[in-house]
Structure 1
Amino acid sequence: MDRLSALLMRLDFSADTFFEGAFCGSSHFPAQPGIGHLHLVRRGPATFTHDDGTRLRVDQPALVFYPRPLAHGLDTGAGTARLLCASVRLAGGGDAVIDSLPPCLHIPLAQLPAMAGVLELLFDEAQHGGLGQKLVLNRLCDVLIVQLLRHALASKLISASRLFGLSDAALAKALAAMHDHPGRHWTVASLATLCGMSRSRFAHQFHAAIGCPPAQYLMGQRMLRAQALLQQGRLVQDVALEVGYGSQPAFTRAFRASTRLSPRDWLAQGGN
């Protein structure tokens, strides 16, 4: 069994469609424990508003997926949108896995040619389905979510190492520690202790699951945090200390090894 299949079976997810058709006006979806949402915008416009004030306007056919509980509003303004909406139940264990996913995935259908067959079945069932229609729609939405996650992994919208690493209960504590506190002086021995393993067993299992040694993974997390801090306008010397380097030159060398640019040159080129 492949890793994505094993992960989704462990999460025991299932979709429950609750609306299909023309929608005009506004609606609010509260955050409910263990519930995400999938919105298929067949025709816009539709604007999704989040509690932090951010907005996502969808004018073209697209999928909008909230993999974990997140309160959001939906408004079509003066227009009418064609929508299919489903709640997504996440019954299995794995809060850390769910938390590793982006809060919202927005992907235009034009970028999802591999899903054309499922979408055609979904639209046809929504319009012409007979007995058992809701069950068929729910199962097709399940397939759509699997394909959506497959696309997000292939497009690197989701970190495969973090997603699958956190799904490995034996490594989850070490990965969470590096994600949450990349500036600490983590060693293979201290990370192994967090996981209740010997140093050699932890190093072997980590490399097998994640695809690189723990030290390399930690450096990657430090560089991601450093880039975020630099984009916030933090001074290079302060960033160096926060992400675990004793001096600015040591940090600059590590940053250049990762990006082929110094921190200042990286910012000057747009921080990409």
Structure 2
Amino acid sequence: MTFDPAALEEVLSSLVVRTGPARRSTLGAGGLHPVVPGHVTLVYVVEGEISVDPRDTLACDLDVEAGTVSRLDGSRTLLAGDAILSAGHGPSVLHSESGARIVTVEMDLDWPRAALPLPSLVLVGGFAALEPAAAALAAELGPCLDGQDGVRLGDSVICRTMVTAVLLAVIRAWAHSTCAPHGWPRRAQDPFLERVVAAVMDEPGHEWTVDALASMGAMSRTIFAERFRSAFGQSPASFVTEVRMARAKTMLSAGHSVSETSRELGYSSDEGFSRAFRRHTGTAPSLWRTHQRDEIAS
């Protein structure tokens, strides 16, 4: 086992999922279906077969029935009951030789990239056997009109709950495999950086200056900043902000006020927290909280 189960459960329980439209699509023989970048996309094969070629992207291929895990270097055909999770790093195209029915759902995940370093594609062969309940939910997403592709907006509680259940099942399947980075979800493979990441995630409201983080990592400020960016692809300050904003969304969704959230996350004023939240999400925390309440009430 290459990961900490407690840390995995912490990540999964803290994910905030915002769903877009759930679509049930029918591909004819030779049909193509694009998977656009920019969003995490879940694809579930209801009937038929589809193929995907990851080309130059990092793809992890899980074969549940065979019990094998490998990096995918060429084209792969998926059958009914299989699933694909695209992290949205780049475009990909699904192809069906004989035809297929698929369900796709686009979503946004609120969690720091350093805590959830998914590969570009995760393919799960035999997903229905691995997670029968989640597969049954996936097959019912996006009800369609007779003979047409259907769209159901992903703003209802039921749809969001189903999508979240399926998404977490795919992530859990990936995490239990050897495709997951060693030590995931704290992937730095550097005990000093892991110590820093764990501390920020445990106490996002602490006054985390770069000097304080570097001291915790037993490095100079310059060396720490370089090693952190190399490991996680972002600056320490950006990571702290992402952790705080993810925690803020969790707290606001749970009913905490803007002031409570601001104080918990270490901001000196509600105005400062609101400015940071708007920069991160494009909307004020009070409006974001209201929108979440409206979704729950709908």
Q: TM-score, normalised by structure 1?
A: 0.51
| Letter paired with 1:97 | A
1:48 aligns with 2:52: yes
| Letter paired with 1:14 | R
Q: Give the aligned CA root-mean-square deviation in angstroms.
A: 4.1
In structure 1, distance between residues paired with 2:221 and 2:10: 21
In structure 2, distance between residues paired with 1:47 and 1:158: 23
Gaps of 5+ in 1: 176-188, 197-272
Gaps of 5+ in 2: 58-73, 145-151, 198-214, 223-298
Aligned pairs, how many? 176
In structure 2, distance between residues paired with 1:172 and 1:58: 36
Match of 1:28 among 20, 28, 34: 34
Please name the residue that 1:63 is paired with. Answer: 83
Please name the residue that 1:154 is paired with. Answer: 176
Matched residues, percent identical?
Answer: 13
What is the CA-CA distance between 1:37 and the residue it aligns to?
A: 1.3
Q: Is the 8 A contact 1:22 1:80 kept in 2?
A: yes
Q: Are residues 62 and 17 of structure 1, via their aligned partners in 2, closer, same or farther at CA, if it must alter by over 3 Å?
A: farther
1:115 aligns with 2:134: no
Pairing 1:70-85 to 2, within 5 Å after superposition: 70-77=90-97, 79-85=98-104
In structure 1, distance between residues paired with 2:153 and 2:162: 15
Please name the residue that 2:231 is paired with. Answer: none
Match of 2:120 among 99, 103, 106: 103
In structure 2, distance between residues paired with 1:139 and 1:4: 19
Q: Helix, strand or coil for the counterpart of 2:105? A: strand
| Letter paired with 2:166 | L
Q: Is the 8 A contact 2:21 2:106 kept in 1?
A: yes
In structure 1, distance between residues paired with 2:193 and 2:221: 6
What is the CA-CA distance between 1:191 and the residue it aligns to?
A: 5.5
Q: Are residues 10 and 165 of structure 1, via their aligned partners in 2, closer, same or farther at CA, if it must alter by over 3 Å?
A: farther
What is the CA-CA distance between 1:142 and the residue it aligns to?
A: 0.8
Between structure 1 and structure 2, the one with the greater Rg is: 1
What is the CA-CA distance between 1:144 and the residue it aligns to?
A: 1.1
Please name the residue that 1:38 is paired with. Answer: 42
| Letter paired with 1:171 | L
Q: Which has the higher contact order (CA 8 A, sep 6+)?
A: 2
Please name the residue that 1:16 is paired with. Answer: 20
In structure 2, distance between residues paired with 1:135 and 1:120: 17
Q: Helix, strand or coil for the counterpart of 1:45? A: strand
Please name the residue that 1:193 is paired with. Answer: 219
Q: Is the 8 A contact 1:165 1:171 kept in 2?
A: no
What is the CA-CA distance between 1:10 and the residue it aligns to?
A: 4.8
In structure 1, distance between residues paired with 2:88 and 2:101: 24
In structure 1, distance between residues paired with 2:221 and 2:13: 24
